[in-house]
Structure 1
């Protein structure tokens, strides 16, 4: 599949729901506690950071 990227102005903010492993949940919980953030906020920040660091990652 070839995905064409649209200019950023065409994308809206969206909610995303998925299941993570127990080990990932533990790591995320500990990280959120250390940062004094809610786990949901920690997950959002980590995902956005990863996508900024690796924007062209391919399968």
Structure 2
């Protein structure tokens, strides 16, 4: 009976470690995707400003 409790405890710890790893991985991927979106938005904004500035300077 005691061995069964220890096995359950070990399984619970392993499950918590796996879930923690999944959560950490999801957080890192989320931050990476957020940084890509921010960079893409900034580049699009700069391109739009260059385009508008180009039209304004045309005689």
> Normalization by structure 2: what TM-score?
0.31
Structure having the higher helix fraction is 2
> Normalization by structure 1: what TM-score?
0.31
Larger Rg: 2
Higher relative contact order (CA 8 A, sep 6+): 1
